[in-house]
């Protein structure tokens, strides 16, 4: 990682990456520009509490898939959740903020995750810990904006023209990016491979 002479702005894209695909890359490349970030860290999760592990590829296979797909100097593929032994996003964020207080983090997620965000452990605390950016996915945009979390956090949503300030805003703060149209999903790839 390059030595930065300022407080770096880091987008965190967590997930199973089962497998990594063009949609992950599209969100990351869009986030670098849209949010004026220095890096995107792909946090490959050892397991997802909201997903069935029976369909999960081995961790090292998912790491390899992510490294091959990322292939960009500003996207860092990380196994930090495994090394920190964190299972939940909130635990990862609390540890990261403690270890790297000079970094400005933004949590990145697809609109499909916003729909179920209120089911995540301590989801309100997540929103109070770091700003976040939602990237639309075909057919998920409208349902995600009608979700429990989106409605409860609506007053903290910023307009897209202020997105480049998001990393330095005091949470809760979030933005919805509407230009991502990649329909690819890990589930669809796994189903096609069966």
Domains and CATH numbers, the chain: 9-193 (3.40.50.620)
Categorise residue 36: left if φ over 0, alpha if ψ from -120 to 50, beta otherwise: left
Name the pTM for this structure. 0.88
Select the more confidently predicted residue: 123 or 191: 123
Select the more confidently predicted residue: 32 or 3: 32
Q: What pLDDT does 47 receive?
A: 81
3-state helix vs strand vs coil in the chain, percent to 5: 45, 15, 35
* Mean pLDDT, residues 141-149 taken together: 92
> 4-41 burial by CB neighbour count: b if 16+ within 10 A, else e?
eeeebbbbbbbbbbbbbbebbbbbbebbbebbebbbbb
Residue 135, strand partner residues = 110, 177
pLDDT, tens digit, 9 for 90 and up, residues 53-62: 778 899 999 9
15/138 Cα distance (integer angstroms):
19
151 pLDDT higher than 70: yes
Q: What pLDDT does 142 receive?
A: 85
184 pLDDT higher than 70: no
pLDDT, tens digit, 9 for 90 and up, residues 39-75: 999 999 998 776 667 788 999 999 999 999 999 999 9
H or E segment to which residue 106 belongs:
strand 104-110
């Amino acid at each position: 990682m390059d030595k930065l002479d300022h407080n770096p702005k880091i987008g965190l894209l967590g997930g199973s990456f089962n497998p990594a695909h063009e949609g992950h890359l599209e969100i990351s490349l869009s986030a670098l520009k849209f949010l004026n970030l220095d890096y995107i860290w792909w946090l490959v999760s050892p397991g997802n509490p909201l997903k069935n592990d029976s369909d999960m590829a081995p961790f090292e296979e998912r790491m390899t898939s992510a490294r091959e797909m990322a292939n960009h100097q500003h996207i860092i593929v990380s196994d930090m959740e495994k090394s920190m032994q964190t299972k939940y996003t909130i635990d990862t964020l609390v540890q990261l903020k403690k270890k790297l207080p000079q970094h400005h983090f933004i949590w990145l997620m697809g609109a499909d995750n916003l729909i179920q965000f209120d089911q995540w452990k301590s989801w309100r605390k997540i929103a109070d810990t770091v700003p976040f950016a939602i990237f639309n996915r075909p057919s998920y945009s409208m349902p995600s904006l009608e979700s429990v979390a989106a409605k409860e956090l609506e007053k903290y949503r910023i307009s897209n023209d202020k997105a480049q300030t998001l990393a330095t805003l005091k949470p809760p703060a979030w933005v919805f990016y509407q230009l991502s149209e990649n329909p690819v999903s890990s589930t669809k790839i796994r189903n096609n491979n069966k």
